[in-house]
Amino acid sequence: MIKRYPTRKIKVGNVEIGGDAPISVQSMTFSKTKDIKETLNQINRLYFVGADIVRVAVLDKEDALALKEIKKSSPLPIIADIHFNYKLGLKAAEVVDGLRINPGNIGGKERVKEIVKVCKERKIPIRIGVNAGSLEKRLENRYGQTPKAMVESALWHIKLLEDLDFFDIKVSLKASDVIRTIEAYRMLRPLVDYPFHLGVTEAGTKFHATIKSAAAFGALLLDGIGDTLRVSITGELEEEIRVGEAILKNLGLREGVDIISCPTCGRIEVDLLPIVKKVEKAVKNIKKPLKLAVMGCVVNAIGEAKEADLAIACGRGYGLIIKKGEIIGKYKEEELLDKFLEEVKTI
Ligand code: SF4
């Protein structure tokens, strides 16, 4: 059982982050935010796949002006991602559910004060997002792009907000590799009680990003570190959510379907991969805890799939459906998968 680090609870729209709140999964649109139609299209795609929160980039005035319309139709809480420009931060803060902005980089205390005033009035949080690749020069010169520099940067930004009595904060410390990411989060964790947004930045395409994120988040979540997360995958949207949810599910931090498929061996009697893929597709939106097994022969499968709530054992020309180790049906190959999926629905 993972014991989560006790963090302060904040809220992004109706989604709680930190404390005893479930670990949320978020993503970011890659449309130009001023393209309201496409941005909403991407937000809806994320919503339907199960995202909890979405972030949009605000690069200019047109993007900021589009937020009102986007917010009106979005089924998900919106975080505006702003770099350096406090005027955009102010505009966005009037509309959205959270900001990602680094207060030290927006041009002085007065500007931070203005943003904090709006965030306080609207009760919206600020995420301090430290990236190893864009650290303040003084820190990079002193420590390099190291976890130490990342943590120092986060503490400096945090203090700017705390000095203004603002504590509605979450923090991310992203590097593009697993080790620095883990070290930075571990180093900061005992020093503050703000919730952490986990991420590995520039993680790469699906294969690499999945491995990097699973390794980094796995280590951190097992330590009880992490309150919300984003898996960054180049050019993917829905996959970011699916991978994030899968990491949580495999650590027992979120309920859902766990599909076991046999590794295959010389005893295999069917072409198993297309069957597994069909099962995966058919159950991908089920959020209930369910262990399904898809096995490639009928002889050994009964024993090997004993732990599953429901298993399918595919033999030559026919197959078995097994419920918690007991055979409940024997069907011809052509009807086996449908019968299995029908049974999944009943349980
Ligand atoms: S279920 Fe059958 S085919 Fe699959 S690994 Fe076990 S023995 Fe081999």
Percentage of the chain surpassing pLDDT 70?
Answer: 100
The 10s digit of each residue's pLDDT in 304-347 is 888 899 999 999 999 999 999 899 999 999 999 999 999 999 98
The 10s digit of each residue's pLDDT in 162-206 is 999 999 999 999 999 999 999 999 999 999 999 999 999 887 899
Q: What pLDDT does 1 receive?
A: 80
The upper half-sphere exposure of residue 188, i.e. CA atoms within 13 Å in the direction of its Cβ, equals 36
Q: Are strands 257-261 and 290-295 parallel, antiparallel or unpaired?
A: parallel
Q: Which of 320, 287, 319, 291 lies closest to 307, judged by CA?
A: 291
Look at residue 303 and tell me whether its pLDDT is greater than 90: no
CB atoms within 10 A of CB 9: 13
Q: What pLDDT does 284 receive?
A: 83
125: which 2 tokens? 């949080």
- CB of 297 closer than 6 angstroms to any ligand 1 atom: yes
Mutate to test the pocket of ligand 1, among 260, 261, 265 (most ligand atoms within 8 A of CB): 265
Q: What pLDDT does 201 receive?
A: 87
CA of 248 to the centre of ligand 1 (A): 28
Q: Report the CATH superfamily, name and number, of domain 257-346.
A: Sulfite Reductase Hemoprotein, domain 1 (3.30.413.10)
- CB of 304 closer than 6 angstroms to any ligand 1 atom: yes
Domain 10-250, CATH among 1.10.1040.10, 3.20.20.20, 1.10.3720.10, 3.40.50.10800: 3.20.20.20
CA of 135 to the centre of ligand 1 (A): 51
CA 266 to ligand 1: nearest atom? 8
Average pLDDT, the chain: 94
Whole-number Å distance between alpha carbons of 252 and 74: 30
pTM for the whole thing? Answer: 0.91
Q: What pLDDT does 87 receive?
A: 94
- CB of 308 closer than 6 angstroms to any ligand 1 atom: no
Look at residue 25 and tell me whether its pLDDT is greater than 80: yes
Burial class (CB in 10 A: 0-12, 13-18, 19+), 330: middle
CA of 278 to the centre of ligand 1 (A): 19
CATH 3.30.413.10 residue ranges in the chain?
257-346
Q: List the residue whose alpha carbon is closest to atom 5 of ligand 1.
A: 264
CA 265 to ligand 1: nearest atom? 8
Q: What pLDDT does 145 receive?
A: 96
CA of 320 to the centre of ligand 1 (A): 14
CA of 314 to the centre of ligand 1 (A): 10
- CB of 296 closer than 6 angstroms to any ligand 1 atom: yes
Q: What pLDDT does 274 receive?
A: 92
CA of 299 to the centre of ligand 1 (A): 8
Q: List the residue whose alpha carbon is closest to atom 2 of ligand 1.
A: 297
pLDDT band at 286 (very low <50, low <70, confident <90, very high): confident
Look at residue 224 and tell me whether its pLDDT is greater than 80: yes
The 10s digit of each residue's pLDDT in 86-112 is 999 999 999 999 999 998 888 889 999
pLDDT band at 32 (very low <50, low <70, confident <90, very high): very high
Q: What pLDDT does 299 receive?
A: 82
Mutate to test the pocket of ligand 1, among 260, 269, 295, 322 (most ligand atoms within 8 A of CB): 295
For residues 256-285, give the mean pLDDT.
90
Q: Are strands 15-17 and 24-28 parallel, antiparallel or unpaired?
A: unpaired
CATH 3.20.20.20 residue ranges in the chain?
10-250
Look at residue 221 and tell me whether its pLDDT is greater than 90: yes
